Chain A
C-alpha cells in the first residue's frame, strides 16, 4: 500500500519541498519588511557549501555535527543577506539590481563554487547526512506513515516554524509593526518605529532561513556538494512568496506543490513510466515562469496583497 505512487509522490513532495519552504519563509520575512530579495539563489548556495564544509570538518555525534552544519549554513546565509541589506537599506540602491548582483556574486560561477574549490568539498559525500527519521516507529503505518512519520528533522522543524511565523506575523505586536514597515514606512516612522532596524533584522533572518534551505540540499537531498546544486530553487522560492500571498501557511502548501513537480521525474523514472525526463525536470521552472508572469504586473501585486512599499527604499527627508 505504501508503495502506491500517490503516497510516494506526496512523501517526496514534502521532502523536496522542505528547502523551498525554508527559502520562501525567509523571503516572506524579508519582503514583509519591504525589501525585495532576488539574491535567494546565491544565498542558498553559500549556505549549502558552508554546511557541507562544516559537516566534513566537525566531529562528534551525528546529531551535533548536523546541528552545527545547519547553524553554520544559516550564519553564512545571514552574512550574505547582511550585504544585501546594506546595499538596499543603507545605500538605498535599486533592490532588483542588488539582489541580482548577490545571486551572480555568490552563485554558481561565483563565491559558492570558489569556496567549494578552496575548501575541497566538491563531490565529497558528507559523513553525516540528514536522514529521514522513523518517528515513534510509525513510518510503516499505511498512508500516513511515509507522509507524516518518515521525514527529516528539518521538515518537522519547518512545520513548527510555519506555525510560529504565522503567529509572529499576524498575532504579535512586533509582527504588526513589521507589516506596517513593509506597507507604509512613513507611517511606521511617524509612529516611532525604527524602520531601518526592522528591515535589517528581517532581511538578515530571511537570509539565514535561505541558508538552511541550502544546507538541506547538500546534506539531505544529494547529500554531497555539487556546484550550483540548488538549480534555481532560489527563484522558485521567490515565486512561492508571491504564490503564497506572503503567508507562511500558503507558502508551505506551494512549496509541496513544487516539491511534487521536482520529485515527479525521479519517481516516475523509477516506475519505468515512459515520459521525457527533461520535460519533467523543466516542469517546476515552467510553473515558476507562469507564476511570476501572472503576478508580476503591478495591478496583480496589489490585488494579491503585496507589501505596498516592497522594493522601495525609505528616505525620510524627502523633498
Chain B
C-alpha cells in the first residue's frame, strides 16, 4: 500500500429539504486500498458517494482527486476523472445487451461501434477480473449477480481508477459475495481504489483495509480494519448510548395472553425476491414489541404483510385467534389491525384530500346511508378528532399535504386509533418529525399500549426502540435473528446483530 492520497473530501455539506444528509463530512482514501464506508441507513453514505460521482453537487466542502481540487458538474466529469460507481439500484438498460450497456456514453466520436471489438474488450476485462458474463446477452436475461458484474465491467471499461460500490452484497448470494471480494482484491492490487459502502460488519472486516464510519450525516472516525473489531465498529455505527429515558408505563402488558400471533411467515418483496423467511412473533395486549434492524431487511414487508397490503407465500397471521386473510387489507382492518405506514403521505393518507375525508377513509361505511356519504357525520367526527388529538390545522377541509409533518402524523394516528384497534403496526412513526412531534407521537403509542393495544413498533432508530419497547426483536435479511427483553438489552450487542453478527 502506497501512502499516496487518492481521494480527499473535506467539510462536505449537502442538504435536502428537511434533512442535512452530509454535515461536514471528511473522507481520506489512499491509493490501492479497499476503503469501507460504514453506517446505518440515512447516515449519509449514498449522498457522499453521489457527490463524488458528480450526481449531486455539494453545498459546501472540497473534493480533491490525487491532490488536485476538482469540481464535478455531471457524472461525465467524474468519469473523466476516473471515478466510477456501481449503484445499489443498477443503472442498466434492460433491453440492451451487455456490450451495448458497457459502451454507453463512451467518449468516442465514431458513428458506428465495432461490436466485435467491444465484445472482445469486455471479454478480456471479464477474464482478468473474474467477472464472468456473456457480452451478447441482454440484461433482462441475466441474474442479479450477473447484472452487478456488468455494472462493474462498465466502470472498468471506462478506465475508472476509483470504484465506488454501494451496498454491493445486498443482492448477492454468499458465493457471489466471495467472488466479488476476490475481484475487488485484484483491482486494488493494480493500484485502483475501491470504496465499499456497507452496513454489514463482517463483510467490512473481511474485505476492507480501512473503515470510515458515518453516523447521522457526520464522520465518526476512520480506523484500520486490522486494528478494530466488529464490536468496536458496531458501537461506532450506532453511537455511544446517550442517556435515554424509558417510557413510563401506567399499565403493564398482559403477558399471559397473545393478541397478534404471526407464525412462519414468508413473503416476497416487490422484485419477487424472498423478503421474509419464516418470521414468527407474537404481541401481547398492552405490549410494545420493537423491531430493530437496518432498513431493507424485511421490516417494510413485515408491516405490509400484517396489515394485509402484501400477500404471504406461506405462514399465518391471527388476531385473538382469528386468522387474517393474506393480502386483504379489509380483512386486517376487520380483525382490528391498525397500520401507521412509514410513508405517511403516500401509503397512509391521501395527501390532496381534506383532513376530514382522510379521517373517513377507513370508516366511511359507517359514515354513509344508502351508500351516500353523510357529510355532517364526517364533519362531526373530524371536529372531535382534531380537538382530541390536538391537530393544528386551519380547518377540517384543509388538504393534508398543507399540514406540517407532525400534524400529518397526528391525523394518521387519530384515524388509526379511533378505529379502536387491537393491534397497531407503527413503521418509523417519528421519522422526519421535529422533537416536539416525536415526543407527542411516542406518548400516543405508550397510551395506546396502556389501553391494551398490542403495538408492533418498527424503527431504524435504536434509541426509540430502546426507550419505548418492552421486548426487542432484531431483523436481518428477512429473519428475526435475536430477541431480548428491553430491560436486559445491550446496545452494542443489538448493534452487532443488526450488522449480521450473531454470537
Contacts and interface: CB of A to CB of B under 8 A. Distances in A.
Interface of A: 171-174, 176-177, 179-180, 183-184, 186-194, 305, 308, 316-317, 319
27 contacts: A173-B106, A173-B108, A173-B111, A176-B100, A179-B96, A180-B93, A180-B96, A183-B94, A184-B91, A184-B92, A187-B93, A187-B101, A187-B104, A189-B55, A190-B75, A190-B85, A191-B75, A191-B79, A191-B91, A191-B104, A191-B154, A192-B74, A192-B76, A192-B105, A308-B94, A316-B55, A317-B56
A171 B114 CA distance: 10
A174 B94 CA distance: 18
Contacts of A190: 53, 55, 75, 85, 87, 91
CB-CB nearest 10 A-B residue pairs = A192-B76, A191-B105, A187-B91, A192-B105, A190-B91, A191-B104, A193-B105, A183-B93, A184-B93, A180-B93
Interface in B92-119: 92-96, 100-101, 103-108, 110-113
A173 B103 contact: yes
Given A173-B112, A177-B104, 9 more contacts: A173-B113, A176-B100, A176-B103, A176-B113, A177-B105, A188-B104, A190-B85, A308-B95, A317-B16
B76 A319 contact: no
Nearest to A171: B112
Nearest to A316: B55
Chain B interface, >50% SS class: loop
A180 B106 CA distance: 13
Nearest to A176: B100
Contacts of A317: 16, 56
Contact of A193 (B56, B85, B92, B104): B104
Contact of B110 (A173, A176, A186): A173
Contacts of A189: 55, 74-75
Contacts, number: 76
A308 B93 CA distance: 9
A177 B154 CA distance: 15
Contacts of B154: 191
Nearest to B111: A172
Contact of B79 (A172, A188, A192): A192
Interface string B3-17: 000000000000010
Contacts of A180: 93, 96, 104
A308 B96 CA distance: 12
A122 B437 CA distance: 67
A252 to B, nearest CB: 22
A171 B112 CA distance: 6
Contacts of B108: 173
A194 B54 CA distance: 13
A188 B92 CA distance: 8
A189 B93 CA distance: 12
A190 B93 CA distance: 12
A317 B14 CA distance: 12
Given A191-B154, A192-B76, A317-B56, A305 B105 contact: no
Contacts of B111: 172-174
Nearest to A307: B95
Contacts of A316: 55
Contacts of A193: 76, 104-105
A303 B87 CA distance: 27
